[in-house]
């Protein structure tokens, strides 16, 4: 439905235990969806692999909550790569993950102007 839906602006999949496999399916649909502006994936046990797939699909302006997942430094590095080329993202929530000092450094470097 996300592939062809042109009216959906916000998607809330809070606490559905999507994991990386579900994130991969969602990423496939998001690559062709042009209407979604905000997505909440809070509490879905999405790890670094799923994060990378989602973020690759979200190179357009979709404000995203990835709070309370399983994102570690590797996922933060993937996110940093996206942040370097995305100039429209306004909000990204990453609280309650496993991002350590190295992941924070990668994110900070990507956000430097």
Question: Cβ neighbours of residue 58 under 8 Å, at least 6 residues apart?
Answer: 30, 39, 64, 82, 86, 89
**1-7 mean pLDDT:** 81
Which DSSP string corresponds to 62-101? Answer: -EEE--SS---HHHHHHHHHHHHH-S----EE--SS---H
Residue appearing with tokens 């942040």? 83
Percent of the chain with pLDDT over 70: 96
Q: Is the pLDDT of residue 7 over 70?
A: yes
Q: Is the pLDDT of residue 77 over 70?
A: yes
Task: Read off the pLDDT of residues 23-61 as tens digits, 9 standing for 90 and up.
Answer: 999 999 888 888 888 999 999 999 999 998 988 887 665
Stated pTM of the model = 0.85
Q: Give the model's pLDDT for residue 60.
A: 62
Alpha carbons 15 and 60: distance in angstroms, whole number: 24
């Amino acid at each position: 439905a996300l592939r062809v839906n042109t009216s959906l602006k916000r998607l809330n999949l809070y606490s559905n235990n999507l994991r990386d496999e579900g994130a991969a399916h969602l990423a496939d649909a998001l690559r062709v969806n042009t209407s979604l502006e905000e997505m909440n994936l809070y509490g879905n046990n999405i790890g670094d692999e799923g994060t990378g797939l989602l973020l690759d699909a979200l190179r357009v302006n979709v404000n995203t909550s990835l709070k309370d997942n399983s994102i570690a430094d590797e996922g933060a590095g993937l996110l940093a790569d996206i942040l370097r080329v995305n100039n429209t993202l306004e909000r990204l929530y990453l609280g309650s993950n496993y991002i350590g000092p190295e992941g924070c450094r990668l994110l900070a470097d990507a956000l430097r102007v």
